[in-house]
């Protein structure tokens, strides 16, 4: 039962992510900054639920489709990135050797833009 609810929530979140992303693209260029209010004003997030908006925006950021930034006028804001541009960003899993001692490894994540051929 919990697995079904999680799958339903994941599917609903994906629908909201897709809808918000498409609406953002239709309402401005890749350089336009969208504030939290701007995103809620697009009327995609039910009942202007800020916690749900956070989940949707976080998902779009994880997918590299939204980029968080700050603006001295608006504060925290986001700009959209094309799907083609987002594909250039990959995540590498790597290991760090601390103090030159191979027995003292720590895993971490290194995120880097990568241009595909």
Tell me the pairing of strands 89-97 and 66-71.
unpaired
Question: Which residue numbers in the chain have pLDDT < 70?
Answer: 1-4, 90-117
**What confidence score (pLDDT) does residue 106 get?**
43
Query: pTM for the full model?
Result: 0.72
**What confidence score (pLDDT) does residue 74 get?**
76
Cβ proximity of 17 and 59 under 8 Å: yes
**Domains of the chain, earliest start first:** 2-81 (1.10.10.10)
Q: How many CB atoms lie within 10 A of CB 25?
A: 14
Cβ proximity of 44 and 19 under 8 Å: yes
**What confidence score (pLDDT) does residue 65 get?**
96
**What confidence score (pLDDT) does residue 109 get?**
44
**What confidence score (pLDDT) does residue 89 get?**
84
**What confidence score (pLDDT) does residue 11 get?**
94
**What confidence score (pLDDT) does residue 111 get?**
45
Q: Kindly provide the residue ranges of all beta strands, DSSP E only, lying in the chain, ordered along the sequence.
A: 66-71, 75-80, 89-97, 105-113
Look up residue 98 and give its DSSP letter: S
Q: How many CB atoms lie within 10 A of CB 17?
A: 21
**What confidence score (pLDDT) does residue 105 get?**
43
**What confidence score (pLDDT) does residue 6 get?**
73
């Amino acid at each position: 039962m919990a697995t079904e609810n999680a799958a339903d929530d994941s599917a609903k979140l994906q629908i909201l992510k897709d809808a918000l992303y498409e609406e953002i693209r239709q309402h401005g260029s890749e350089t336009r900054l969208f504030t939290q209010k701007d995103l809620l004003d697009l009327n995609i997030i039910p009942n202007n639920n800020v916690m749900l908006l956070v989940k949707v925006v976080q998902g779009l950021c994880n997918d590299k489709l939204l980029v968080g930034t700050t603006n001295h006028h608006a504060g925290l804001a986001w700009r959209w990135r094309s799907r083609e541009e987002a594909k250039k960003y990959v995540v590498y899993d790597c290991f760090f050797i601390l103090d030159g001692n191979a027995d003292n490894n720590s895993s971490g994540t290194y995120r880097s833009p990568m241009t595909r051929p």
